[in-house]
Amino acid sequence: MTQLVGVLRIGRDAELRTAGQSSVINLALAYNYGKKESGGDRPTQWIDASLWGKRAEALEQYLVKGQQVYAVIGDVHVETYDKRDGGTASKLVGVISDIELVGGRPQQSGGGERREREERPAPRREAPKPAPSGFDDMDDDIPF
């Protein structure tokens, strides 16, 4: 069985949907490979990968465009499809068996961050605590 393992970047926000009795997320993932081209960038390979079950439900809000993930993608294969202009094209496809968030939160104001802000409760602000009594209450200036 062919597997792809590595750090990838999410190309679009995840959208959870149901397929029969299971939940599924389809992700567009990108990774760089090979030598740098003349422009200084390395070539990018895209893979369409699906994440199934309760893990998909739990991670949906965190799988946003630009987020880096470490993923193990199994059953990697090439699928061909008909393009709108009548030609044929191919794409790399697989099923995510393990995924972990890596790196920080993406530095964009996309829907994922907005969604997280809306769902996260506002932090509770507590009143400042009074200073402890004792030596701190003395008015004597100590020269050292």
Q: Give the tens place of pLDDT for each residue, 87-144.
A: 999 999 999 999 999 987 777 555 444 444 455 565 566 655 555 555 555 555 655 5
Spatial distance between the Cα atoms of 81 and 135, rounded to a whole number of angstroms: 79
pTM of the complete model beyond 0.85: no
- Residue 98 forms part of a structural domain: yes
Residue with token string 């920080």: 104
- Residue 122 forms part of a structural domain: no
Question: Do residues 2 and 76 make contact, with C-beta atoms less than 8 angstroms apart?
Answer: yes
- Residue 127 forms part of a structural domain: no
Q: What share of the chain is helix, strand, coil (3-state, %, to 5)?
A: 15, 45, 40
- Residue 114 forms part of a structural domain: no
Spatial distance between the Cα atoms of 49 and 31, rounded to a whole number of angstroms: 13
Provide the residue type at 85 as one letter: D
Question: Do residues 106 and 67 make contact, with C-beta atoms less than 8 angstroms apart?
Answer: yes
More reliable by pLDDT, 118 or 28: 28
- Residue 117 forms part of a structural domain: no
* pLDDT recorded at residue 113: 46
CA–CA distances in Å: residue 100 to residues 1, 38, 50, 71, 103: 22, 33, 14, 6, 10
> What range defines the domain where residue 38 resides?
3-106
- Residue 125 forms part of a structural domain: no
Question: Do residues 91 and 79 make contact, with C-beta atoms less than 8 angstroms apart?
Answer: yes
pLDDT tens profile 44-91: 999 999 999 999 999 999 999 999 999 999 999 999 999 999 999 999
CATH number at residue 82: 2.40.50.140
- Residue 130 forms part of a structural domain: no
Question: Please, what is the end-to-end C-alpha distance for the chain in angstroms?
Answer: 72
Give the chain's mean pLDDT: 82
Number of domains in the chain: 1
What tokens does 13 get? 């926000």
- Residue 63 forms part of a structural domain: yes
